[in-house]
Chains A and B, each alone.
Chain A
């Protein structure tokens, strides 16, 4: 799975990040926490400059789950 290492590293540090960097945009590359920024643009700019097209994780700490547009309909998998 893409970003598996980065997401695992984020989850490992989630509690610490939520206390230290609430609502900030953090970047993870491989297993490493790269840093935290105020805006997505700043975090992305730094990530691109260092790691090009990736892979890297950029996530806002404590952000709510995104809501999908009604236009994007899908059916949940049914269990037989």
Chain B
């Protein structure tokens, strides 16, 4: 069973000289939360395998599924960043700044409700791959302001991605394991 560690070692060194702090794994876990390396990007081939099927409406003149040759999409851009395992989130999200940096296709703008009221967010096509598990979720993701808000993570792994996974959280030691 593939397992990846999303927690912290018993003792961690944080910061750079002269402001070095030594914390326990348990303290580090409280401060940062369960964290894992993920690859964020957009790979058209993940979606293009789905093309040409299930068209429910008669195509408009000249715009049928095979009316024109496929558009060549640029090579996928990807970046490996840290993501927060966020069991409080139903959906996974990507940092807005990172989404723009990677050139993820923006497919919608939506009003979301949350703490503090409502706000407008961009919605992107892309994928999140948990590196340690080689587990991929592709689809649409809300672009949210994580780094702009001072958060250390560039993505949130929500429950939709974890629905077939096992998460073991040990707050006493700072150990967190995620498995599929």
Q: Using a CB–CB distance below 8 Å, which chain A residues touch chain B?
A: 1-3, 7, 20-21, 24, 32-42, 44-59, 65-76
Contact = CB atoms under 8 A, between A and B. Distances in A.
A42 B63 contact: no
Given A3-B106, A32-B60, A73-B149, 6 more contacts: A3-B109, A59-B107, A66-B121, A68-B114, A73-B116, A74-B116
B50 interface: yes
Contact of B60 (A34, A42, A73, A75): A34
Nearest to A38: B54
Contact of B91 (A38, A39, A55, A66): A66
Contacts of A33: 57, 60
Interface stretch (B1-9, B13-21, B24-32, B136-144): B136-144
B84 interface: yes
A45 B140 CA distance: 12
Given A65-B111, A66-B110, A72-B114, A44 B125 contact: yes
B99 interface: no
A72 B93 contact: yes
Given A2-B106, A54-B105, A66-B142, A49 B51 contact: yes
Interface of B is mostly: loop
A40 B52 CA distance: 13
Contact of A57 (B103, B108, B138): B108
Contacts of B107: 3, 44, 47, 54, 56-59
Interface of B: 42, 44, 47-57, 59-60, 63, 65, 68, 70-74, 84, 86, 88-91, 93, 103, 105-119, 121-122, 125, 138-140, 142, 144-146, 149, 151, 156, 158
A50 to B, nearest CB: 6
B93 A53 contact: no
Contacts of B86: 69, 71
B52 A68 contact: no
Contacts of A57: 107-108
A24 B55 CA distance: 10
Contact of A68 (B44, B71, B142): B142
A4 to B, nearest CB: 9
Contacts of A32: 60, 63
B117 to A, nearest CB: 4
B71 A49 contact: yes
Give the most central of A2, A24, A34, A41: most B CB within 10 Å: A41
